Structure 1
Amino acid sequence: MSYYTSLTGLKNAQTDLNVISHNIANAETNGFKKSTTQFADIISSSVVTDPSLTVGIGSRVANIAQNFTMGAIEQTGNALDLTIGGEGFFTTVSPTSGSTEYTRNGAFSVDGNGFIKNAQGARLQVFPQVNGVTNTASRQDAQVPATNAAGSPFASVTVDQQGQVVAGYDDGTTLTIGTVALANFIAPTGLKQVGDSSWKVSGKSGAPNYGAPGTGAFGALDSGQLERSNVDIAEELVDLISAQRYFQANAKAIDTATQISQTVINLRT
């Protein structure tokens, strides 16, 4: 039985190493959130088993938990590099598949059609302005008109702390495009990772709750800076050494069990 007990430890150590390696590989990925591996013991017993004689039969991976603590802030000076100073996720929609994703990576830019998008081409979602009032009941793609009503060409775009996206034109006029739509979840650790520092809704996360920056539990926006990965390299290297020792100890236990079995076989012969 000791073989299989130690084998579960080897498999768990490998999973732990994979998670740590993934964290380290994304230490420079904007908006990335690290994960940690959590283990649980396995016990084989029945109603007639004496509790004082119960022997465990190994361990298993109980959960790979995501850590949504805020990462370090990097100043960029780009008006469309945004960070959320608190809770919330940017909402983006793919123009091809129509799927909605959520991210903490606020690196956006304007494409040739005036849409504000991320590096993957997903368009930032905003609440529209209706008679000067933000309508949080609906969302739309953030799109900057190439010219204003007077025909003056687009010059710049800014985003304030309340999330208002304002386009400026050569004649000095401005136009409010909308308010950045933030989303929050009852259980963000239940969100499904889809890569590119983005997540999708799952049954464990609950439905999204939308709101404007700086309202309720949603953090205000800061322009000209990006949220970096929340991976601490020093901490990950310590965890890496610990996982390596964990792997080695289980491998040594298997080797010891093999030697004992060989000794028993030699005694019989």
Structure 2
Amino acid sequence: MPFTTALSGLNAASNNLAVTGNNIANANTVGFKRSRSEFADVYASSLGGVSSIQPGAGVRVANVAQQFTQGNLQFTENNLDLAISGEGFFTLAKSPTEVNDLSYTRSGEFKLDKEGYMVNNQGAALLVYAPNGAAISDGFSVGVTQPVQINTLTGLPSATDSAEIVVNVDSDATVIPAATTFDYTNSDSYNNQTSVTVYDSLGSPHILTTYFRKASANNWDVYHFISEPTTPDTKTQVDVAGGNADGSGRLTFDSGGKLISPANPFSLSSYTITPPTGAADITITSMNFAGSTQVQQKFSVNDMTQNGLPAGRLTGLDIDDEGVIFARFSNGGSQTVGKVALTRFPNVNGLTKLGDTTWGQSANSGEPIRGEAGSNNFGSIQSGALEASNVDLAAQLVNLIVAQQHYQANAQTITTENQIMQAILNI
């Protein structure tokens, strides 16, 4: 019996040394959680129970428990590196096409594979909640997870349907006689002009030129023409709905130079693209001159905007502390790609250890609880950072010394028992 007791101590000390050595080996492993050996004493029992003078039968390893305490955040220069500050795990699929084989990790070393999916070093795909629209305000379908594909994204074009031009027209400008017919090829038939690029539904650019013609002291007529960039000298007029008989609209200023009419933006007639390209007609329903003035200063354009966009390429990604992945494009547009899906468990120590710093659900862990960063007890997400191992190297080295002494003491017990046996047998 004493030999068995000492042998159990050797096994326990050996386990403690192995666990400590594993902790030390993974001191620099991102997202690693240290473990500790937990022991229980052993007693031989009978039908009468354990005797009050029973010395015990040794020790056994009750559990090797991982310690899911927070590791320090280490900042990097890669915004695809993610760290969780607080509770939760990243949700991983085995691959972008095997989305039902799930695992969980605290290691956020993500990168793009050859198809543009965000994956870890083992090729497991990061799962996100699907966006309900292009804007963050549209929300996300929490519970509907999908792999996130990045570098195939294109900034989709957006057709122009509103434009805003804020100008100052010179109060000393010459009034153009009504007898002079407007002609954009005749600079004597108007006072000033300005242009803005507008886009059709396929993202092709077109030039919208606005001509300003002084009709009387406080009244200016505005004419709108659209031309193709390839044929800028050929222009097609787009009439102002409810405007003058010649298709123009009228701007009226008060004696202080403020615009008083129209009270609402103009609506322009549709422009049919010729030759056809498959794009829809350009229809600008809001041509706004609000804020324009007429003072004794040279003609100037103080502001000019329109809401259309050409097609664009991906130029960057932003991931906020709630895990929203936000793509930026060269056309000035932006799009929400998804929201990082986090998972937590009622009993994290019941998770199955899968290796590669990942864990799997088990009967002891309880059912997974899905959620979003920053809500429902989930931690926040830090982009451009990684969670370091929570191994305290100094503490592990001290534990290594203790485990070694434990091992040597049990070995000494065997040596002592052996000497006693030799003494008995030599009598």
TM-score by length of 2: 0.61
Match of 1:108 in 2: 110
Q: Map 1:120-131; keep pairs closer than 5 Å.
A: 120-131=122-133
Are positions 1:226 and 2:386 aligned together?
Answer: yes
Q: Secondary structure at the match of 2:154?
A: coil
Output one character per residue of 1:71-103: Cα deviation in whole Å (capped at 9) or x when no partner: 111111211111111000000112265521101
Deviations 1:107-156 (A, max 9, x none): 11222322111111111100011141211121000112332223311111
AA of the residue aligned to 1:159: I
Identify unmatched segments of 5+ residues in structure 1: none
* Counterpart-to-counterpart distance in 2, 1:181 and 1:50: 52
Q: Tell me whether 111-120 or 6-15 shows the greater mean CA deviation.
A: 111-120
Deviation sequence 1:37-86 (CA, Å, 0-9, x none): 00000011334367431220111000111100011111112111111110
Distance 1:172 1:111, change over 3 A: farther
**1:142 aligned partner:** 148
- Please name the residue that 1:25 is paired with: 25
Task: Write the letter of the residue equivalent to 2:41.
Answer: D
Counterparts of 1:191-202 in structure 2, within 5 Å, are 191-202=351-362
Looking at structure 1, the residues matched to 87 and 346 of structure 2 have their Cα atoms a distance apart, in angstroms, of 11
After superposition, residues 110-259 of structure 1 pair within 5 angstroms as 110-131=112-133, 132-144=138-150, 145-150=152-157, 151-259=311-419
Q: Which amino acid aligns with 2:20?
A: I
Go from structure 1 to structure 2 and tell me whether the alpha carbon gap of 1:120 and 1:261 turns closer, same or farther (over 3 Å shift). same
Structure 1's 129 and 168: CA in aligned 2 closer, same or farther, altered over 3 A? same
The letter of the residue matching 1:104 is R
What amino acid maps onto 1:133 in structure 2? G
Deviations 1:174-228 (A, max 9, x none): 1101110000000011111111111111111112111011011101111111100
Kindly provide the amino acid, as one letter, of the partner of residue 357 in structure 2.
S
Partner Cα separation in structure 2 for residue 168 and residue 108 of structure 1: 19
Q: Is the 8 A contact 1:23 1:231 kept in 2?
A: yes
Deviations 1:232-267 (A, max 9, x none): 000000110011001000000001000000000111
Partners of 2:82 and 2:108 within 8 A in 1: yes
TM-score by length of 1: 0.95
* Separation in structure 2 between the aligned mates of residue 49 and residue 198 of structure 1, nearest angstrom: 43
Find the aligned partners of 1:215 and 1:5 in 2 and give their Cα distance.
51
Which has the greater radius of gyration? 2
> Which one-letter code corresponds to 2:91 in the other structure?
T
Q: Is the 8 A contact 2:131 2:336 kept in 1?
A: yes
Change in Cα spacing, 1:220 to 1:50, as seen in structure 2 (3 Å) is closer
Aligned position for 1:89? 89
Aligned residues of 2:88 and 2:343 also touching (Cα < 8 A): yes
The question of whether the paired residues in 1 share the 8 Å contact of 2:83 and 2:381 is answered with yes
What corresponds to 1:2 in structure 2?
2
The unaligned stretches of length 5 or more in structure 2 are 158-310
- C-alpha distance in 2 between matches for 1:8 and 1:18: 15
1:125 partner letter: L
Report percent identity of matched pairs: 42
Matched with 2:425 is 265
Judge conservation of contact 2:117–2:147 (CA < 8 Å) in 1: yes
CA RMSD of aligned residues (A): 1.4
CA spacing shift, 1:162–1:253, aligned 2, 3 Å: same
3-state DSSP class of the match of 1:71? coil
The verdict on how the C-alpha distance between 1:73 and 1:154 changes in structure 2, with shifts beyond 3 A counting, is same
Corresponding pairs, count = 267
Confirm or deny: 8 A CA contact 1:44 1:55 kept in the other structure.
no
Q: Tell me which amino acid in the other structure corresponds to 1:74.
A: Q
Q: In structure 2, the residue corresponding to 1:54 is in which secondary structure?
A: coil
Select the structure that is richer in helix.
Answer: 1
- Asked if structure 1 preserves the Cα contact closer than 8 Å seen for 2:44 and 2:56, the reply is yes
d(CA) in 2 for partners of 1:71 and 1:182? 17
Q: 1:97 to 1:147 in 2, by over 3 A?
A: closer
SS at match of 1:10: helix
Deviation >6 Å, runs of 4+ = none
